[in-house]
Chains A and B, each alone.
Chain A
């Protein structure tokens, strides 16, 4: 036993423990350290390569085994297109009416100038406790910590937590650590949205601190209230359930996220916007 537990073995154990403590302290004080950035910079091209191979394989798999499903989806989509075209015609009429009313009331349409940077997801955080992913764009593309990631439909995906020269780590809205100021579109009631962390609410969002007299209806849209990080009116999700919270003085709502994280491949980082 003593022979096996040599000085070299003891040194390995001690180095591991010392490194763990030092890295913990340094990263909590200064964020991502240069060795972390270097390892990520080396791993990102490999992850990008593997990720694109996986995507290709998945496409072939879906093509071969998902033909009937695709056919059904195609039929459904054709029906949806017809429905949407009908909606567009109605919307055009409403838009014209709205424009006339706006002119009448002399309201100025507010324009927010968004600057977006497109990026593909190359790796997901593999633990069950955290919801985050890595993209193959970084500070060299103008990204910085705290920038918000959205989909092409203006739905909030998450916020950049760490950034390296060619990679960035994004914590999604599903993570319980992210709290976002939000309001219900129809009623204007405000609250805070965060990732739900109980087992029966996995993959859902929870809107807290709603007034006890707030009327909450299913499928009511919840949007951001706007801050230095988030522009106003980005879609967070839709109300699915509601109740009185643990304190008994305010309400909460369970939301279905607007983003479908299972099929998410590409995100857009909001590098610049005009805050209200």
Chain B
């Protein structure tokens, strides 16, 4: 009994450590800048109306605008008109901090565009990875050919190469063929996943040979076997691989930062966070955390929806 208590205490401590950053992220995304700076307001903040200084500043009228507005304010001096406009602007620009943070995230940074880029890049990477990994894994697991063990050894060797070590040569290659600042630059370097090949190969080893022989007797070609027999039986393993691949590339900051230098149209969601990196006038933590929340939400939702199958896939016990 007491041992159970200790177990739970330790686990709870772990949970706190893991969840604390998420708590801060979510909390900051609700609060006003002042509350964030002073560290007050609890989880939700007071949600008092606040004025967006930049919004107000943007509506500061110049001479022509004052002149244009003059008929609405008869008998007032220019400075009185300006004050009236500014007062109106302050009313228009005041909002709840949560609305401020999240609307900033979508308006200031084209977050929808970034999310779309994220989906395009992550989905293409995963799709091509599967396209390459499944036949390769099938050949390594089930076909007999000269040098198979050596090839598999190379696959294992490639697992040992850290991405950052080859980033520079990769970048230079892409730059020489003129592919930087394209979707291709974001996708191509990741299309062959040795981890995927390795994982699927291990899974295919557990598929009985009889099943493949039966498929051959039924008239399937080797490629048909890969897509019609191996793919459906490998769904749990594929889901496990999907988590690793999608999480890694959705959250990747390093590689997009290197190959996407100019066009904001190609930014992936993590690059969007840079939009709120303050330079001179301090960081915008509220909108930044709102962006972060929006970026991680799809992954968390996807995991919750498919939780059971994901865990099945990781333990690779889905198939008997």
Our verdict on whether A and B bind, yes or no, reads: no
> B residues bordering A, Cβ < 8 Å?
none
> A residues bordering B, Cβ < 8 Å?
none
